[in-house]
């Protein structure tokens, strides 16, 4: 019988979207800050 554990798999995919998304945003924000600093 196949175990019911879809919650773990859903959690992992949500974490992936949040982590990779947050990293992409962090690069974009840092580039914007550097450009402002450079004038």
Partner 1 sequence: MSDISLRGEATEAPVAPSRVRGGGIDWFFVVAVLLVAVTFVRVIYFTPIEATQGPAQKIFYLHLPAALAAFMAFGLVALTSILYLWLKDPKLDLLAESSAEVGVVFTTMVLISGPLWGKPVWGTWWTWDARLTLTLFLWFIYVGYLVLRGAIDDPAMRARYSAVLGILGALLIPFIHLSVYLFRTLHPMPIVLKPSAPSLPKEMLETLALSFGSFTVLFFAFLRARYHLALERAAIEAEERR
Contacting positions for partner 1 (CB under 8 A): 2-6, 8-9, 11-13, 15-16, 19-20, 23-24, 27-28, 30-31, 34-35, 37-38
Q: CA-to-CA distance for 8 and 16, rounded, in angstroms?
A: 12
* DSSP helix/strand/coil, 3: coil
Place of tokens 């450009």: 35
User: Min. distance of Cβ 38 from partner 1 in angstroms?
Assistant: 4
User: Min. distance of Cβ 6 from partner 1 in angstroms?
Assistant: 4
User: Min. distance of Cβ 14 from partner 1 in angstroms?
Assistant: 10
Six-digit token string for 23: 């990293």
């Amino acid at each position: 019988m196949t175990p019911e554990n879809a919650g773990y798999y859903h959690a992992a995919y949500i974490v992936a979207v949040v982590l990779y998304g947050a990293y992409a945003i962090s690069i974009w924000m840092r580039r914007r800050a550097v450009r402002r600093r450079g004038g």
